[in-house]
Chains A and B, each alone.
Chain A
Amino acid sequence: MITKRIIPCLDVRNGQVVKGTNFVGLREIASPVELAKEYSACGADELVFYDITASSDGRDLFTDVLTETARNVFIPLTVGGGIRSLKDFDRVLKCGADKVSVNSGAIADPTLISRAAKVYGDQCVVLSVDVKRVNGVYRVFAKGGREDTGLDALDWIKKGIDEGAGEIVLNSIDTDGVKKGFDLEMLAAVTAFSTVPVIASGGAGCIEDFITLFKTLPKVDAGLAASIFHFGEVSIADLKREMQKNAIPARIVKE
């Protein structure tokens, strides 16, 4: 049986890992390569690297980090942040990424999804969506959660899947950084129709939040989090053991 995946997410700026609350107040904490090795050793099923630098210097630092990680860590790597063209796909795939996550770039030009899927395959294209409730409806936000696009989130995700996205990362801005649990209501709305894997993101504060996620919504394929792993509040090894105890299929890494 396929396991539920646990995915630490590393936001990288100027070659360092950062994590903020509600997307504001970023601070630098650690070497991404070292963190990636540690996560892989304790059972992370996949890693996501988001490039949150804007400068070209920062971009070069990011690809260096990625290359070094791919040389040492042998689990799937997804890369996102500033992906706007097939050239961007090519750049990160050459550095050892397995999947590429698109967000604002796909909103600006939805054909980016289908063009990339045609060249690299559906499995390579991850659609990452930042969603926030506005007047009772799910709305897509762009630019790191700062800009309301006016798009209906469920319509956008359906379109993304039709265009060839092989996976959805659903990040709830409403629960992100709050550490009170995943946005189960929003996730249920998406898993109800999604034919591709759905990764829950935003809101995990403790092990119990992951257990609740997978027990309440068996259609969710993976849980993604950042700061709780970086700051050691949740150990991935403990989390996997707890999942196993709760009869949630999990890959346990032998120490």
Chain B
Amino acid sequence: MTVIVDYGVGNLFSLKSSLAVVGEESVISSDKMVIERADRVILPGVGAFRDAMEKLRASGLVDTLRKVVSQGKPLLGICLGMQLLFDKSYEYGEHEGLGFISGVVAPIPVKEGIKIPHMGWNALSFGEQKHTLFRYLSEGDYVYFVHSYAAVGCESAVIARTEYGSPVTAAVAKGNILGCQFHPEKSGEVGLKILRAFAEIKEGEL
């Protein structure tokens, strides 16, 4: 059973529906006990980094997430939820994140012909080794992105990149801590394949 962490950020309806389609039971919860009992946890998020981090702290869930991670349960951050996994973000100032993965979140470099936000379908490139999260995917599969900031300085954790004027971090992994900058729940069949792979990861497997 997957728990989708509800801390008052974003629309969780599609995420829950997409997990149902891949046959994974899920609950949306802000209850520490429920989250700690989950087989795996998804940290969603849209909006601003600072607000999201404040809401996480206010709901007392930072320690809960730490516990989930130390128990070896798979944790998947999506979009802003992935950005929160890093040390800090430079979105409207400088704000501390969860610090689960080393790296920072910075604006996507502005270049001629590059519009911000990076919004739309872009191709994934996995490099030499394909992470188990992408085991049902092929190189170049398209997923849906919506973001203006991206993770940098996290090279050793990057498991997928995309190209938007320059290489952009698309997904990261450090042991059982996973993150997707894009929205698997909005990425059609490809996204469902990622969620299916995630739902198949067992506690302690990564």
Contact = CB atoms under 8 A, between A and B. Distances in A.
Contacts of B99: none
Contacts of A120: 46-47
A54 interface: no
A5 to B, nearest CB: 6
Interface in A66-105: 67, 70-72, 74-76, 93-98
A1 B47 contact: no
Interface in B107-133: 113, 115-123
A59 interface: no
A221 B164 CA distance: 14
A123 B119 contact: yes
B11 A45 contact: no
Contacts of A95: 13
A182 to B, nearest CB: 18
A110 interface: no
B122 A123 contact: no
Nearest to A45: B121
Given A74-B18, A76-B144, A196-B115, A1 B163 contact: yes
Given A96-B11, A121-B48, A2 B120 contact: yes
Interface residues of B, number: 34
Nearest to B20: A71
B188 A3 contact: no
Contacts, number: 89
Chain A interface residue bracket vs B: 35 or more
A63 B138 CA distance: 36
Interface string B150-184: 00000000000001100000000000000000000
B50 to A, nearest CB: 13
Prevailing SS type, chain B contact patch = mixed
A124 B186 CA distance: 14
B6 interface: no
A166 B117 CA distance: 7
B17 A75 contact: no
Interface string B188-206: 1101100000000000000
A47 B119 CA distance: 14
A243 to B, nearest CB: 13
Contact of B122 (A2, A96, A122): A2
A75 B119 contact: no
B188 A40 contact: yes
Contact of B123 (A1, A72, A121, A123): A1
Contact of A70 (B17, B117, B148): B17
Given A196-B115, A251-B142, A74 B192 contact: yes
Nearest to A76: B186
Contact of B186 (A75, A167, A195, A197): A75
Given A3-B120, A45-B121, A96-B14, A74 B142 contact: no
Given A70-B17, A76-B186, A93 B11 contact: yes
18 contacts: A1-B163, A70-B13, A71-B17, A74-B17, A74-B185, A74-B188, A74-B191, A74-B192, A75-B144, A75-B187, A76-B144, A121-B48, A122-B148, A124-B46, A197-B115, A219-B113, A221-B120, A222-B120
Interface of A: 1-3, 5, 40, 45, 67, 70-72, 74-76, 93-98, 120-124, 166-167, 195-197, 219, 221-222, 251, 253-254
